[in-house]
Amino acid sequence: MFKWKKGEIALKIAVVNNNVEQSLKLAEQFRILCLENHLLLDDKDPDVVVTIGGDGTLLSAFHRYAHMLHQVRFVGVHTGHLGFYTDWRDYELVELVESLLNDKGESVSYPLLDVKVTYQGQKESSHFLSLNESTMKRIDGTMVCDVFIKDELFERFRGDGLCISTPTGSTGYNKSVGGAVIHPRLEALQLTEIAPINNRVFRILGSPLIVARDEWIRIKPLTTDGFVLTIDQLTSSEKNITELTYSIAKERIHFARYRHTHFWSRVEDAFIGAKKKYEI
């Protein structure tokens, strides 16, 4: 069945799973299949990172291997509903191993969000990467900040917070706060306002804003304390933030997609369900 031959260099595979019982069992089965078929297990220097769980598990793996994006590709196995990053079902481990054994190095890549955080009294900004989105929220009152696009003041925002997302992240939290769904081939940023205040006194755009690849978004809060900053699933309470800058990252995430599910099919499956036939 498999085509590995003695003397060939096998792929190095890292396995990342969540702690759900089903995922733990599948991860163990997958490791055994890899060893039986001469695939090397290597969590430190992998060629391919296989995640078993859901999109949240893949997000965790992305941040674990964010410093190695130039050399690793990701593959997702989902144990629940079809995810936006997980192509394989829990009962397809044998087929996945066969695809790994016949790997030709092909991949599809998606843009990432570059997040730079500047703190009061700090000369250099802290740097982060996000696969889905980053949000900035005020926890003890209205968030007031100036929003710049390419260093031009766009508006003074008042509300609960702001969400800046990638195209692949547009179907997540961004969508839940009224943002648009963007195809991942479009390398753009999206800024979506969270519970904005928009009246005759305080005027803001009041709709999602899509920014081109060669532009960037800069946020300068009028007060520096009492914020919650999120980068994907990572959350931290922040003090002394003076500026946030968002842009399309130079780095990209690469998926070893041995088969490809059309993006709009994923959107339909996630939010609409099985296609319905309507009788006229």
Give me the catalytic one of 42, 45, 55, 160: 55
Contacts of 6 (CB under 8 A, 6+ apart): none
The beta strand positions in the chain, using DSSP E, are 12-17, 40-41, 48-53, 73-78, 88-89, 108-119, 126-130, 133-138, 143-149, 152-165, 189-196, 209-211, 217-221, 227-231, 234-238, 241-255
Count CB atoms within 10 A of the CB of residue 12.
17
Residue 135's identity, in one-letter code, is T
Report yes or no: 229 and 236 within 8 Å, Cβ to Cβ. yes
Cα–Cα distance for residue pair 63/56, rounded to 1 Å: 11
Cα–Cα distance for residue pair 24/97, rounded to 1 Å: 17
Catalytic residue status for 42: no
Residue 144 backbone class (left: φ over 0; alpha: ψ -120 to 50; beta: rest): beta
Catalytic center residues = 55
